[in-house]
Structure formats: C-alpha cells, structure tokens
Amino acid sequence: MVQHIAPARFTTRSPVRPFASLGRMLTPKLERRARALNGLPRRRSGPLWKRVLTSGYTWGLLAIAILSLLALVDMYAMMHRDIELPDGSIAYGIPREIFVQAAKWAWPTALVWSALFIWLDRFRTLNISLYVMAFLWGGCLSTWFSMHVNSWAGERMGVTGQDPDTGARAAIFSAPFVEEISKVTILFGLALFIRYRLVSSLQLIPLAGLSAIGFAFVENIVYYARAYNYATQVPGIEDPIGEVMQLVMLRGVYTSFGHPLFTSMTAFGLVVGLRHRSKLVRVCAPLAGFCFSALGHMIFNGIASTVPLEQSKIYWFMALGVVLMILIMLIGHLITEMRRIRARLTDYVRTGWLLPDDPKTYSGPFTRPRLVFISLFQPSRVPATWRMIGTMTELAYLRDAMVRGLVDEAGNDRARDLVDAINADRAVAVTRASEPIVLPPLPKFLRRHRTPQLAPVPVRTHR
C-alpha cells in the first residue's frame, strides 16, 4: 500500500538537519562544511553585538582601515619632507595647508561618482562595509603601492626631476599595469571569500568603480597639491589658484571617467569567470579583462603625456564613445538580471513556496523602490520590507547558481532558510506595489481641538 507521509518539520534547535536531495541526515559540523565548500553563509543567531563582532566584514573593514591609515601617514611624510636632488637643489615639501585645499577641490568628484556606483548596485545590495573597504583600498593602499612602484620604475627608466613617477615612460609602460593590479586586488580577494555574494556585473562594477574612485580621489589630491605648491613658488605666476583650477577641471570633470572605466573592464572579466563552470574560463576571463584595462590605461596615459591638449579633443570624444558602450552594456545587464530574477523566482512559485505575484513584484527595477517608498510612511514596516527584498533576491540568485552547477545540494537547505525568513516577514512587509500610501497621524500638538457644537433645539411656539 502506498502511503503519503507528511515531511517532518525541523527547527534550528534540532541536532541534525536533512538535505532532501542527499537523503541522509547531516550533523551541524558537516552542514557547516558543506556550506563553506559552496561559499554559502553560515547560520547566525544571538544578539546584534555578537553577530557584528563575529562577522568577517567587521574584522576585514578594521584591518583595511588600519592599513589605510598607515599608508596615508607614509605618503604624507614622503611628500611633506624636503628632498635634496642629485644636482644639489632642494625640492621643498608640500605643506599641510595645501593638502587640505587640494582635498576640498577633489572631494566633489569622488562624492558624485561614489553615489552613482552605489546606486548602480540595485538588485542585490552589498553590505555597506564592502563599499567602504573598496574605497579605502583604492584610495590608500592602492595609491601607496603605486606611488612606491612607479617611483622605483621611473628611476630605473632614467626619469629625472623632482617627481620620477610623472615621467612619460613610467606613465605609459609602468603605471597602467601597477595601478590596475593594485586597484583590482580587492575584487579578487572578495571573490575568494564571498563569491556567493558576488553574482552579477551590477555588483562587481560598483566595487571596482569605488576602488577606482578612491584611487582617483587621492591621486587628484596629490596632483592638485603639487601643482598648487609649484604655482606658489614660481614668481611669474600671478594667479596660482586659477592655474590649478584648469587642472581641476581637466582631471575632476573632463577625464574623471578614466579610472572607473579601466577598472570596470577587469570587473566584467571577473564576473564572467565567477558565473561559469569551466575552469579555463574562470582563469582566462579575468585575465583578459585585466589586459584590456591595462591596455586602455596605457593608451590613455600615452595620449595625455605626448599629445598637446589642443589636439586631444578627438581622443576625448573617442573615450566618451567607449563610456557610452559601457553604459549600453550595463543597461543590457540590468534587463538580463531582471529576467533572471523573475525566472528563478517562478521556479519556486511552481513548487508552491512563493506566491504567484512575487516574481513580478521583486524583479522590477521600479516596483522594488516603490515598496520601500510605501513602507517609509509606516516606519514599523520598513525593516521587514527591506529584508524581504534582499531575501527574495538572494533566493533567486541561489536558485540560478544551483541551475548553473555552481552550488550543490547544500543550496536546498539555504533555500529553506530563506523561504522561512520570507514567510516570517510577509505579514509585516509591504508586498504589493499597488498598496495605497497610508499617511501617519499628525502629532497631538498639531491637531485642532474642536469643541463639538450641539444642534439648536427647535422652540415650539404656542398660538
């Protein structure tokens, strides 16, 4: 006789948990190992302070922050002290006040580009600590490494003068490879430790862009400070600030897309490698992306170092064409990610784990922000709405990774955890984009207290 047996319900307190596809029970130790091999996050419980202290993001950010501080101090000491040149002349260091003024000129460019890249990461938003780590890495550690290596390479190539790393030969043949390697190192490191979180180009390109913008921010401070310091020491320059502002417009506006453009090429190659099963593609795709980025950086530096500014407009328009191509590719990737999320969530609708409207609601680029907007008028629903959007997206990409063969049966257990979290938040979160906006009640001191007026009582008259 065939008898249907209802599946048992397991909780996080159970000593063992099943993998349905494996058909056997796994102990917590084996389960943690299975998740680690697939790059899946572990279950975390307990108070918030304990989860923060045991999180790898916290210690990774702390380590990079300390190293960044040391790198900044070393770079400042290097450029602040006076240097005696081989011909006996003295190259005076840059005062602190000039560095402060240069930072004021450089920060608007960094702020605008950083906001654009963070906004681009719309579907599966990364932890904010990853944004900070990428910016600090590019702005402090990458610039420190590049400054030392480029100076050494400039000396080996026979560049003379106060700034060996500003020579044309070092800028063309050394700087592109050194700078691109140092900027994308953070991407390869994150790909090793949190490859499960990096699922699309819309995540890797923002990280690459933030690393590049951090590098450009500190590099612009160095360039502006050197130019301003030089302009104040030369007697023939009547308006030092006016001279520096030309450089600010050139580096901070017209060519500010340079570093993000080149580093994004490596990010494209890396995301292809992360989403492919072939080991050959996993190695060759990031390498090809790096070669394209270094080659583009080399051409850019070559034109900037050898072609006069008046004759370089045609090259600037060519570079804008490349930027436009990248934007078109990003729009295509955005549409692809929308379709992928909808298709993978539909798989769970067929199994009865999700509601029929969930794929359409949580795959649209406009419906997701609208859910958050509606919840803002009811603050108690904001956390659940935000969590549910992230959980739905993670569930879709988990299913996609399992379909591609990147995650094995361990993904089924993670999927059940995500569905449990969705069901827990569904009762509180905003789940329909058509839900009307409910305005909160006014505070008591803004309400008008009206005394009710009684209707006049009709008076009978006696004839």
Count of alpha carbons within 13 angstroms of residue 281, beta-carbon side: 9
Residue 217 CB: number of other CB atoms within 10 A? Answer: 24
Nearest 10 degrees: CA dihedral of 26, 27, 28, 29? -100
Contact 135, 183 (CB under 8 A): no
Q: Is 370 exposed, middle or buried (0-12, 13-18, 19+ CB in 10 A)?
A: middle
pLDDT on residue 452 = 54
Q: How far apart are CA 335 and CA 338, in angstroms?
A: 5
pLDDT on residue 212 = 94
pLDDT on residue 14 = 35
Is the pTM of the predicted complex or chain greater than 0.85?
Answer: no
pLDDT on residue 115 = 92
Could you list the pLDDT tens digit for every one of the 463 residues in the chain?
434 333 333 333 333 333 344 344 567 777 777 777 777 777 777 777 787 887 888 899 999 999 999 999 999 998 888 777 677 677 778 888 999 999 999 999 999 999 999 888 877 677 788 999 999 999 999 999 998 888 887 777 665 544 444 456 777 778 889 999 999 999 888 888 887 777 777 788 889 999 999 999 999 999 999 888 888 887 777 788 888 898 899 899 888 998 998 998 898 888 888 777 778 888 888 899 999 999 988 888 888 877 777 777 888 888 888 888 888 888 888 888 889 999 999 999 998 899 999 999 998 888 888 998 999 988 889 999 999 998 999 899 889 888 888 787 878 888 888 999 999 999 899 888 888 887 777 666 666 655 555 556 565 655 5
Residue 411 CB: number of other CB atoms within 10 A? Answer: 23
Q: How far apart are CA 348 and CA 359, in angstroms?
A: 9
Q: Which two tokens stand for residue 27?
A: 């102990």
Place of tokens 């796994």: 26
pLDDT on residue 215 = 95
pLDDT on residue 462 = 57
Side chain identity at residue 92, one-letter code: Y
In DSSP terms, 18 is beta-bridged to 25
